[in-house]
A and B are shown apart, each in its own frame.
Chain A
């Protein structure tokens, strides 16, 4: 396993060792793919956008300036913008902040079923801002630390903590006590791993 720092690998690629981009690719492929999947909920769309992100990163590596941020921040920014651009191109008539509500027709039946199950959460999450949703998925689904979240959304660790707690607070207020009762029942009816919580 190559343990060289991202910045060292970037320099190597810039200095004529393009194969070292393969190390960066191996390091970031899954992270970027998951990041995009959670924004699109479509395997096909996630693959298309992931492909575009890595091509862009490879081609534009010369423009990456390590003094302005880390490679991680840079490639996540490309991913975020590419998701927005993708839906802007495909759905010109839909105002887009993120792709949380889009891409229905691209999904397989299994993905669609998973999405229906997710709808109960989405009902409430839709009322949050795209940035709040991103923080929630990064913390709860990706299990990233606040430091990692801060790097990805380009803010400070404290700001990431505050943004997460504020998002959860809003979610709780929007759900209301009755909805939470239903949600809790759902957890224990169709998600066995969480029975231990009771």
Chain B
């Protein structure tokens, strides 16, 4: 703002409020001082470009939401349907069983009894990898888990205690404690289908919020995968990273791209903390 613009602004002020006519010099001083003390803003262009890429790498929920085109009555009746389903589930001898009962079953044999092959889908795996799915846990996908954010509801399940004794397979990715910043780095990821690493921030109340998504990871072993965070991480914060299978559109969509599970039903999820320095 130059001197002429300041004069114009002062004139405007006196026009808006004629009682200011006697204070022209004071107003000019105030405006000039505020102008003079304007902080210099230098925008980091790499931040600008990186943020742009990160945002556009994610499909907005509404575009792909399966509920987006439901009529209003369907949306309103959904809770009633859910209650009805719950009642049927609780009736002794009922024929409907919650699918989650098989999720954390400790016995692989029992899992086979309930038909684990029908529980786990290979729809996202590339053609010809079906055989690998049975033997390579890193691509087992569970249809019943629609979103990583629902993991917390399973954590509340009474079967959680049993889960501790469930056999586990080695995770196909590793991530160490991280330093504070705008990204975290996944050390190594091994996958047989295109996938993402999705990171959630866990707040003090135990709630998880989507914090960042990696670029699409192609089959094979990839080292040093960056996950850019929406907000800077701080020391002491706790995060979880999950391996999520791409549904084929190469864009992560919460609720559509599924968390991967091993053949025992354990989600490929790993917690990590933000620390002030790496341990020797």
* Interface residues in chain A, defined as those with a beta carbon under 8 Å from any beta carbon in chain B: 13-14, 16, 18-19, 21-22, 25-26, 29-30, 33-34, 37-38, 41, 43-44, 47-48, 50-52, 54-55, 58-59, 61-63, 111, 114-115, 117-118, 120-121, 136, 139-141, 143, 161-162, 164-166, 168-169, 171-172, 175, 177, 180, 183-184, 186-187, 190-191, 193-194, 196-197
Contact = CB atoms under 8 A, between A and B. Distances in A.
B47 A47 contact: yes
Contacts of B9: 139-140
Contacts of B44: 43, 47
Given A164-B13, A172-B30, A34 B40 contact: no
B16 A37 contact: no
B84 interface: no
Contact of B34 (A13, A30, A136): A136
Contacts, number: 149
A117 B13 CA distance: 26
Given A164-B13, A180-B29, A18 B59 contact: yes
26 contacts: A22-B52, A22-B56, A25-B52, A47-B44, A54-B55, A58-B60, A59-B58, A59-B60, A62-B68, A63-B62, A114-B40, A117-B37, A139-B9, A140-B34, A171-B30, A172-B23, A172-B26, A172-B27, A177-B26, A180-B26, A180-B30, A183-B33, A184-B29, A187-B36, A191-B36, A194-B35
Given A14-B63, A62-B68, A197-B32, A48 B232 contact: yes
A21 B53 CA distance: 11
Contacts of B33: 120-121, 183-184, 186-187
B52 A52 contact: no
B230 interface: yes
A165 B29 contact: no
A169 B17 contact: yes
A121 B34 contact: yes
Interface residues on B, range: 35 or more
Contacts of B63: 13-14, 16, 18, 62
Interface pairs A-B: 5 shortest CB-CB: A62-B62, A191-B36, A165-B16, A165-B17, A184-B29
B101 to A, nearest CB: 33
Given A13-B63, A62-B68, A183 B29 contact: yes
Interface string B37-63: 111111110011001100110111111
